[in-house]
Amino acid sequence: MKQYKNILVNALVNLGDVVLTTGAIALLKKAYPEARITMLVKPVVRQAVENNPVIDEVMVFDYKPKENSWGQMRAMAKDLKKRQFDLSISLDRKLRPALLAFLARIPERVGPSRVFGPKKSRVTWLYTRTVDIDYDLDKTLQADTYQNIVRGLTGQGAEEREEPVFARITPEAQERAKELLEKLPQAEKIIALCVKGTFPLKTWPKEYFAQVVEKLASEYKASFFVTGGPGDRTYADEVIAACPVPVANFCGETNLVELAALFKASDLLVSVDTGGGHIAAACQIPMVVMYGCTSPDRWHPINEKARVLTSREECCPCTVRTEECPSWPKPKCLWNIAPEAVLRECRELLQGGG
């Protein structure tokens, strides 16, 4: 197998995907233990991969897709060229990073034929080698697809598999988590909630979350908090208003590493399918995740303590817009996951059944 010394990994994807790609990078590191691995990411996810055991350096590419960013492209390509990478491997199959690697004259450029959707793309013309992804993406864990791209380069077998690796949790992050948790009522169990997905067809009903909180509060001496980004805070307040017990709103109050520290200190996460859930999975927290329009076959958290619930509607997984959902405003894929089913999984995990 040819050896490489200086590898660029392109992953200009969202948070959950970035966390999942780290398993592929761990596999890459295993194949080339002497290589320096640099990861190219969006600014919003950099904390997930900085100070990460399998990544030597993080480069941030800040651009807005609908704006003319040719000046940024030229500057980044110039920077990449100076670093003299001998291999670029794409985990996103996006045009910009593929073009950057081409302009930087990286001699070997590897990428997948597909990574998200069924369509092939002319982006692969910019690669020197294309890894064929020829299976049903919706029935395969996305983490495995990322690792299959690496296997296509290295020749490693399917039995060689690595789990996602999150950034190291710093003492400062632990202190911030402790500071937030001290605001909660004293309790025997700390339960985290992630109540809002990136779009409505991933967001479990507010009423259902409130019922779960009410029942868990009646059965356990528990304290609750909601996690999410700054933009989730108002929606979280609406969920909290429906809950009969105090629930703290920590949306927007942590960075990604501090969020991981919060999860590490918690006994359970009840969540919709979202990027924060993949951070929690990497922290190995017991978790229950409800899936709406997305497929748990593809997006299941990589965590033995994770329980997933889906109603397996005939129309799922789907990519329709919210208003195009035939059962909107009460999409069956979400409303058919009953609170009692979630509670059964929560009880078992809280009793040590993870």
HEC letters along 112-123: ECCCCCCCCCHH
Written as one string, the DSSP assignment of 185-254 is PP-SEEEEEE---SSGGG---HHHHHHHHHHHHHHS-EEEEE---GGGHHHHHHHHHT-SS-EEE-TTSS
- Give the pair of three-digit tokens for residue 48: 């997930």
**Distance, CA of 22 to CA of 43 (rounded, Å):** 17
Quote the pLDDT of residue 117: 85
**Distance, CA of 328 to CA of 130 (rounded, Å):** 40
Give the largest CA-CA distance in the chain: 63
Phi, psi of 171 (to 5 degrees): -60, -35
**Distance, CA of 57 to CA of 83 (rounded, Å):** 12
Can you tell me whether residue 60 is helix, strand or coil? Answer: strand
10-residue mean pLDDT series, the chain (354 residues)? 93 96 97 97 95 96 73 91 97 94 97 90 95 94 97 95 96 98 96 96 97 98 97 97 97 97 98 96 97 95 96 93 94 97 98 70
Written as one string, the DSSP assignment of 112-156 is ES-SSSS---GGGGG-SEEE---S-GGGS-HHHHHHHHHHHHH--
Q: How many alpha carbons lie under 13 Å from residue 218 in its C-beta half-sphere?
A: 9
Quote the pLDDT of residue 62: 86
**What is the arrangement of strands in the sheet containing 109-112, beginning at the earlier edge strand?**
57-60, 36-41, 6-10, 87-90, 109-112, 129-131
Q: How many alpha carbons lie under 13 Å from residue 325 in its C-beta half-sphere?
A: 23
- Give the pair of three-digit tokens for residue 354: 């993870």
Taking alpha carbons only, the member of 171, 170, 150 closest to residue 161 is 150
Quote the pLDDT of residue 66: 63
Quote the pLDDT of residue 290: 98
Quote the pLDDT of residue 45: 96
Taking alpha carbons only, the member of 173, 175, 180 closest to residue 283 is 173
Asked whether the beta carbons of 93 and 117 are under 8 A apart, the reply is no
The set of residues, in sequence order, having a beta carbon less than 8 Å from that of 349 and lying 6+ positions away, is 268, 286, 287, 288, 305, 307
